[in-house]
Amino acid sequence: MDYFNYQGDSLYAEACAVTELAKQYQTPLYVYSRATIERHWHAFDQAAGELPHLVCYAVKANSNLAVLNVMARLGSGFDIVSKGELARVIAAGGDPAKVVFSGVGKTSDEIAYALSHGIYCFNIESAAELERINHVAGKAGKKAPVSFRVNPDVDAGTHPYISTGLKENKFGISIEEAPALYQHAATLANVDIKGVDCHIGSQLTEVQPFLDALDRVLVLVDTLAEQGIKLSHIDVGGGLGVCYNDEQPPHPNEYAKAIAEKIAGRNITLIYEPGRAIMANAGILVTEVEFLKTNQDKHFAIVDAAMNDLLRPSLYQAWQNIIPVEQRQDEPNINYDIVGPICETGDFLGKDRELAIKAGDLLAVRSAGAYGFTMSSNYNSRPRVAEVMVDGDTSTLVRERETIEQLWQGEHLLP
C-alpha cells in the first residue's frame, strides 16, 4: 500500500497534487511519500513482535538524507556498504551503534572510520577481510564486532544480476567453510564474534527461499554453539520483492513473521536489511512528455527523464508502471515506447505502454523510490534531478536539482 492515488483524474502524492509539484520544482522530479516510508518500516518492525530485533534499512536503495532521517526518527538501524553511506547515516541523525556494514571490498580506511564511530557489526565476506579487520582494529586499540556473511547456496529465483546466494556469486563465504573460519576468528585478539549474516538476492517474490536459507543458517548456529561459539544475532539480509507489475510478493508482515517464528525461543536478536520493500513504492519519477513521434508504425513518447535518471529499465529490463499524472479522455489510447533523450537505443523507461497523452503532459514512473536516484548518473552531461518529499499536504525539496556548473565541479584544465 502506498499513498500515490488518483483524486478524480489527478494523481496525488499524499495530499499534494503531482501537477502542482511539477510546476513548483520542475521535471524530471523524484517524489517520495513520508507516510509510505513509515508504513513500510513499521510493517517490518511490528511483524517481529516481542522478538528482539533491529530493522537495518539498506541505504543503497535510497540514501537521500531526508529519507534516512525519517527512518532515524523511527529508531531505525541501517545497512551500509561504504564510508560514504555511513557518513550519510551520521549526517542524517542515524545512530552508528545500529549500523551493520556489508560489502565484499571494505578498505582499511573504511574499516577504521566505521570502528571510530562504533558501528554495531561488520558483515565479513572473506577470510582475507577478517585478517584486515583484525589488523585495523588492533592498530586502533579496539575490538571489532563481526559476523560472517554465509552463502547458503539457495536459488533466489530472481534476476541473475541481483541473485547473490548461489555458489557462483562473489558474495559471502560457503556455509560449509564457515565453522572453520569462526574457530579461527575466535583465536584473534581484535575481533568479537557477534552473529551470522546472509542475503540471498533482491526482488524475491516467495518466502520459501528465505526460509530455506534460514534453515541452513540455523544448522550453522547450532553447530557453532556445540563448538562453544554462541551468536547473539542472526541477520537475514534484505531482498523482499515488491509489486512492480503483477508480481505477488508476500506482504512484509507475512515475510517478517515467518522468519521471526523460526527464530522465536532462541534468545537471539533478529536483524532485517530491507531496502526495496521500504522504498520502491514510496517514490515516483515525474517526467514531462517533450514530443510524440512516429517512425513508420512505431510510436514514441520522448520524455525529459532518461536512463541516467532511472537506470533499472535499461540495465535489468525492469518493468515499472508508467501512468499519466492527469488522466485525459480526449485522446485515443496509443501504444508507446517511453524513451529519453540520451543517445542510446537502450535509453527507455518503458516499452509498449497504452497511454492517452499529448506533448506537454506529465507522466509518473511508479515504484521508483528504490534504486532510482541512487543509481542515477550524469551521463550525457545531464544534471541529476531534484528530489522532493511530501508529508500530508506539505512538500519539501530534499535535494536540489544539480546546476550545469556542478557538472564539472572538481575538474581541471591542463596547465
Residues engaged in binding ligand LLP (CB under 6 A) = 58, 61, 79, 102, 162, 199, 202-203, 237-240, 273-277, 312, 316, 371
Does 274 carry a binding-site annotation?
Answer: yes
Contact (Cβ atoms closer than 8 angstroms) between residue 273 and residue 71: no
Burial of 117 (0-12, 13-18, 19+ CB in 10 A): middle
Does 316 carry a binding-site annotation?
Answer: yes
Residue 195: CB minimum distance to ligand LLP, A:
14
* 19 vs 374, beta carbon nearer ligand LLP: 374
**Measured distance CA(10)–CA(411) in Å, rounded:** 43
Residue 296: CB minimum distance to ligand LLP, A:
33
Does 249 carry a binding-site annotation?
Answer: no
**Measured distance CA(142)–CA(111) in Å, rounded:** 12
- Map grid coordinates 558501528 to a residue: 119
Indicate if 198 belongs to the active site.
Answer: no
**Which triple of cell numbers denotes residue 351?**
516499452
How far is CA 93 from each of CA 100, 118, 121, rounded to the nearest angstrom? Answer: 16, 15, 19
- DSSP code per residue over 101-149: E--S---HHHHHHHHHTT-SEEEE-SHHHHHHHHHHHHHHT--EEEEEE
86 phi and psi, to 5 degrees? -65, -40
Does 161 carry a binding-site annotation?
Answer: no
* 300 vs 316, beta carbon nearer ligand LLP: 316
Does 382 carry a binding-site annotation?
Answer: no
* 273 vs 304, beta carbon nearer ligand LLP: 273
* 159 vs 399, beta carbon nearer ligand LLP: 159
Residue 225: CB minimum distance to ligand LLP, A:
24
Residue 264: CB minimum distance to ligand LLP, A:
23
Contact (Cβ atoms closer than 8 angstroms) between residue 19 and residue 31: no
- Binding-site residues: 239, 273-276, 312, 316, 344, 371
- Binding-site residues for substrate: 276, 312, 316, 344, 371
Point out the residues that are catalytic.
Answer: 343
- Binding-site residues for pyridoxal 5'-phosphate: 239, 273-276, 371
